[in-house]
Amino acid sequence: MVDLIDKIPPQNLEAERSVLGAMLIEKEAIAKAIDFLREESFYSEVHQTIFRAIIDIYDKNKAVDFVTAAEELRKAKLLKEVGGATYLSNLIDSVATAANIEYYAKIVQEKAVLRNLIRVATQIVTDGYTDTKDVSEILDQAEQAIFGITQSKVQPGFIPVSEMVHGSIETIESLYKKKEKVPGVPSGFIDLDRKTGGFYASNLIVVAGRPSMGKTSFCLSIARNVGVNESLPVAIFSLEMSREELVLRLLCSMARVSVHKVRTGFIDKKDWTPLTNAASVLSNAPIFIDDSPAISVLEMKARSRRLQSERGLSLIIVDYLQLMPGRTGRSEYRQQDISEITRSLKSMAKELKVPVIAISQLSRETEKRTSKRPQLSDLRESGAIEQDADLVTFIYREDYYDAKNALPGVTEIIIGKQRNGPTGSVKLKFLNEYTSFENLTKQPE
């Protein structure tokens, strides 16, 4: 450990000089460097100072060259500290052209990432030997630090439309050939898929409702349709129910056997055949359940990425949003935590290129109104849920509030927001006995 500490941190001073030299001879090189580098990306403090001076000049929309850089440093009384005008001149002489700026900048950035890793790892080791901190606190800080490094990686900038048009035409052609087929991951509910086109890759879908509306049952029905009927891999993160409970629900919904009868052990002999048949089918379905309590988005992403590489992945379901731990862990900052969680879930959907369904509770304000139909303002704890989601759906069962007059089991799936499609609603049938949803519209022949 001592040997490692005594080593010189990763750096490439020649690449740093080449970057600064290119920035001093060509304005376009500055814009390219900014995409990759920050002041702290440079190992040399002298280079950090020069980089900051160049950026300050550039930010004022002034010409950047040897003269202006020297003057900026002179005014800040830093010219001597960086080696004087001679050093700036040497930087310019070190590069013949700015053509390789991106290559040099990537080298500097990679060395900076390695230094950050060493810094974070050293802190983790130090914290590990500290008795004053709670283990969960150390783990959380380590997780956040590593996550911060991954987020600091350079993201791709502008891509010319000319490079994307061909792919878009291919997508349109593919959709045209499919016609009646659902372009996204199908929910299995005809009217809903007609409204939405299924669940699209990289989209965040929110399924919201008050307690006992059937949110988990609805999403399990989707998982069953995707995993069993379409044979597409589905990952379920259940923060509320155990994996045994979820599998029991799946079996009962497929076998059409009462969940209550199964739980109490009072099943009939005739129920065994459909249950064993359902078990046989379900055992071959690519549905994967993780019931770890208080799992973070970072852990979800890591486990999903591993599942994707090993088995493939077409859909992620998170049950439910408000049970996920926030970074602060404090109730007074819960709105801030939820905002961060939804942004992270959207980021996970984009990174893994799969749709992510997040179940969300609604606020109690719904119950105070004469009309109990949910609306976007009812989303609990944060407007960021509405903002980050590509599709927001609400589950509403009239028979829950008006059992005498409403049609039993008829459930409205309200589309409160759809980024690339219409809002509105569709109706499904809720089979409470089997905790399952099915189509009201008949399946096409």
Mean pLDDT of 86-98: 89
Domains 2-151 and 180-439 agree in fold: no
Predicted local distance difference test score (pLDDT) of residue 89: 92
Q: What is the mean pLDDT of the chain?
A: 83
Task: Report the distance separating Cα 415 and Cα 80, nearest Å.
Answer: 64
Strands 410-418, 391-397: pairing kind: antiparallel
Predicted local distance difference test score (pLDDT) of residue 407: 77
Whether 156 shows a pLDDT value over 80: the answer reads no
Residue 162 confidence class, pLDDT cut points 50, 70, 90: low
Calculate the dihedral angle through the C-alpha atoms of 425, 426, 427, 431, rounding to the nearest 10 degrees. -100
Predicted local distance difference test score (pLDDT) of residue 268: 82
Which ranges in 179-296 belong to alpha helices (H)? 190-196, 215-224, 243-255, 259-264, 272-282
Which residues face 287 on adjacent strands? 234
Whether 152 shows a pLDDT value over 90: the answer reads no
Mean pLDDT of 313-341: 77
Mean pLDDT of 302-312: 84
**pLDDT tens-digit series, residues 170-184:** 766 766 666 557 788
Predicted local distance difference test score (pLDDT) of residue 141: 73
Residue 442 confidence class, pLDDT cut points 50, 70, 90: low
What phi-psi label fits residue 424: left (phi over 0), alpha (psi between -120 and 50 degrees) or beta?
left
What is the SS3 assignment for 425? strand
Tell me which CATH code domain 2-151 carries.
Answer: 1.10.860.10
Mean pLDDT of 39-53: 93
Q: In what order do the strands lie in the sheet with 436-439?
A: 287-290, 234-238, 315-319, 356-361, 204-209, 391-397, 410-418, 424-431, 436-439
Predicted local distance difference test score (pLDDT) of residue 443: 54
CA 165 and chain centroid, separation? 26
Mean pLDDT of 315-325: 86
Residue 445 confidence class, pLDDT cut points 50, 70, 90: very low
pTM, to two decimals: 0.64
With b for 16 or more beta-carbon neighbours within 10 A and e for fewer, the 143-171 pattern comes to eebbbeeeeeeeeeeeeeeeeeeeeeeee
Domain ranges of the chain: 2-151, 180-439
CB atoms within 10 A of CB 136: 11
Residue 382: name the closest of 311, 420, 326, 425 by CA. Answer: 326
CA 299 and chain centroid, separation? 11
**pLDDT tens-digit series, residues 378-392:** 775 556 777 888 999
| Residue of 239 and 177 predicted with greater confidence | 239
Task: Report the distance separating Cα 69 and Cα 60, nearest Å.
Answer: 13
Q: 431: part of which helix (H) or strand (E)?
A: strand 424-431
Residue 419's φ and ψ, nearest 5 degrees, are: -60, -40
CATH of range 180-439; options 3.40.50.1100, 3.40.50.300, 1.25.40.10, 2.70.98.60: 3.40.50.300
Paired tokens of 116:
């950050």
Whether 207 shows a pLDDT value over 70: the answer reads yes
Calculate the dihedral angle through the C-alpha atoms of 168, 174, 177, 178, rounding to the nearest 10 degrees. -120
